[in-house]
Amino acid sequence: MKLSHVPVPEPEDCQGGPLCSEAAPPRLHDFEVPVPAHLSVYGTTTRASLYGREDAPLVIVLGGISGNRFPALCPDGGPGWWSGFLRKGGAIDPADYRILGLDFIADPTGRRAPTPFDQAEVVRAALDLLGVERAHAFVGPSYGGMIALAFGQAYPDRVERLVVVSAGAGPHPTATAQRELQRRIVALGLAHGDGEAALGIARGFAMLTYRTPVEFAERFDGGISEADPLSCSAPGAYLRARGDAYPKVMSPERFLSLSASIDRHRIEPDAIPVPTLVVGAETDQLVPPPQIHDLAARLGGPVTLHMLDSLYGHDMFLKDAPRVSELVLPFLRASA
């Protein structure tokens, strides 16, 4: 398969910058992956990227539903969504690995939700297209961890090891209820012709589940000073800002499809024989510690479990990326 090379501007801080190397710089390729015919309701193709040393072992990296196919580096030279983890000297150094990222399939009308197994099938199609029989690893935080687990169950011979961060065997009932409320907000907004505003409110609600009360107490004062019931509080201003930015990377309809996909997640841990590193946050409100421990106890292959005490809850993989990297690095370099 011929890949299209994307010229990437060299980082200005190439002296020791996070993506710099003394050898030839890693190359970024952007390409289309055909979606299996029975999943064509979600589109006939999706986009994928390869970044890293071209003869290196391949590592699949997928993140939360807001993540795109550029986990390490964007075509304009800017940082990818997980650049704090995919960096020089980190667990996945682009000088040592090829990094495969994909855009998730989703229903553009927002009326159907794929399963993580559907997403895993698209990952398999990408490996087939690249001629890769077996990936070195599948690294997935959040939704990406659900897909990694589905991939390990459906295609255990196509990957040497899994790294699952902040994901369980299925959705927690409280998290499902929270996401359902978010989807109802977005659906109501779409019905009244203001889907983007509704998406912003849903995103603000979601941020409360991604982070922790301790972090909010450190950053903001509670309460409002105005008599107007709709006056903006200090934490509310932050959530509004995050919500206002969200439609730039997510449409209301795509959100409905992918949010519901999380709640369609169900795997059988004992049917996954692949060696797995499981990482969780003690403060995670979406995937609480008992779910992480339960997953690790039930997996069918060798398991390594680490729990981190993080200020950032479910967003630990983003905000505490260097700590996660320290745990992942020896696991990726160990013999399979």
26: pLDDT confidence band, cut at 50, 70 and 90?
confident
Tracing tokens 């800017």 back to the chain, one arrives at 78
What average pLDDT score do residues 98-118 get? 98
Which residues are designated catalytic? 142, 284, 314
Is 50 exceeded by the pLDDT of residue 14?
Answer: no
Residue 105: the pLDDT is: 98
pTM for the full model?
0.93
> Residue length, the chain?
336
> What digits encode the pLDDT tens for the residues 211-253?
999 999 999 999 999 999 999 999 999 999 999 999 999 999 9
Q: What angle do CA 38, 39, 41 make, to 5 degrees?
A: 110
Q: What percent of the chain has pLDDT over 70?
A: 92
23: pLDDT confidence band, cut at 50, 70 and 90?
low
> What digits encode the pLDDT tens for the residues 285-318?
999 999 999 999 999 999 999 999 999 999 999 9
Mean pLDDT of all residues belonging to the chain:
93
Query: Closest Cα partner for 255 from 62, 49, 64, 14?
Result: 64
17: pLDDT confidence band, cut at 50, 70 and 90?
very low
Is 80 exceeded by the pLDDT of residue 6?
Answer: no
Residue 204: the pLDDT is: 97
What average pLDDT score do residues 244-269 get? 97
What average pLDDT score do residues 122-151 get? 98
Is 50 exceeded by the pLDDT of residue 11?
Answer: no
Domains of the chain: 4-170+266-333 (3.40.50.1820), 173-262 (1.10.1740.110)
Dihedral angle of Cα 73, 76, 78, 81, to the nearest 10 degrees: -50
19: pLDDT confidence band, cut at 50, 70 and 90?
very low
